[in-house]
Amino acid sequence: MVRSRATTKFDLPPAKAFYMRTSILTLLFICLFAVPASSADYRVEPLKEAPPVDDLKKEIAGKLRTEGVRVIRGTKTTFCDVWLCQKWEAPADFKPTPEVLYPFRPGQLIGVARFARKGADFRDQDISSGVYTIRYGQQPVDGSHVGTSPTRDFLLLVRAEDEQDAGPTGVEELVERSSAAAESSHPCLLSMQRLAAKSFPSTRHNEETDWWILALQGTVGDKQLPIEFVISGVAAE
């Protein structure tokens, strides 16, 4: 005599049990192999679009190139747009050091950025969507900044509505305005990097630090000057 297995309220019909097992396996596969949003790739492409002159002081808008670049996150999400100045001023006798690579004057206007959505700076402070000027700054030489960046070269963001003119901004004033952009006691900044790019514009990924680095090329006098800075990634503090 064959005894049938007793059923309980936890038993499921074969078809439903198969469906549940399949769903669980699918969910596990997604969890194991899905790419986190923070690790999405960044790429750059030319932007045949004029800078947002309506958001800028007339003098600042007049200093910018008529075309920019667009940084794209993932497949098609616009992260930010950047317009560099038509020309940068720099001393002819500048010589780079291991700590200061770029020949700019603190407070000097480098360009303008427009963030289409919220981003984050090198300290993981929020960058709200909107238009910002980009100015050059140098990290202070003190114990609280040791090891946060390989160079002292930084780019500081200032909200466009807080700007007055295109001339160099004093260090204290720049720090104050950039801190207001971050809604923090610390400036809103992007870390400049040692040059490694072979083409411009371009992006590269530092896998060790998980930094996405944007490479652009501006003009000093009659020569091209490349710059690189972290567009996504935070300091190892």
Residue 134: burial class (beta carbons within 10 Å; 0-12, 13-18, 19+)? buried
Residue 141: per-residue pLDDT: 73
pLDDT at 10 over 60: no
- Sign of torsion over alpha carbons 107, 49, 82, 162: positive
What confidence score (pLDDT) does residue 39 get? 56
Mean pLDDT of the chain: 87
Residue pair 163/157 in contact by the 8 Å Cβ criterion? no
Fill in the DSSP letter of residue 192: B
Integer Cα distance of 130 and 152 in angstroms:
26
pLDDT digits (tens, 9 = 90+) for 122-172: 999 999 999 999 999 999 876 554 556 789 999 999 999 999 999 999 999
pLDDT band at residue 198, thresholds of 50, 70 and 90? very high
What per-residue confidence (pLDDT) applies to 37?
39
Largest CA distance in the chain: 102
Q: What is the pLDDT, as a whole number, of residue 40?
A: 87
- Predicted confidence at residue 33, as pLDDT, reads 43
User: pTM for this structure?
Assistant: 0.82
Check residue 30 and give its pLDDT: 40
Task: Please state the rounded mean pLDDT for residues 195-215.
Answer: 96
Q: What is the DSSP letter of 172?
A: H
The pLDDT, as a whole number, for residue 15 is: 53
The angle formed by the CA atoms of residues 173, 154 and 168, to the nearest 5 degrees, is 40
Asked if pLDDT for residue 93 goes beyond 90, the answer is: yes
Helix spans in the chain (H):
14-33, 58-61, 171-182
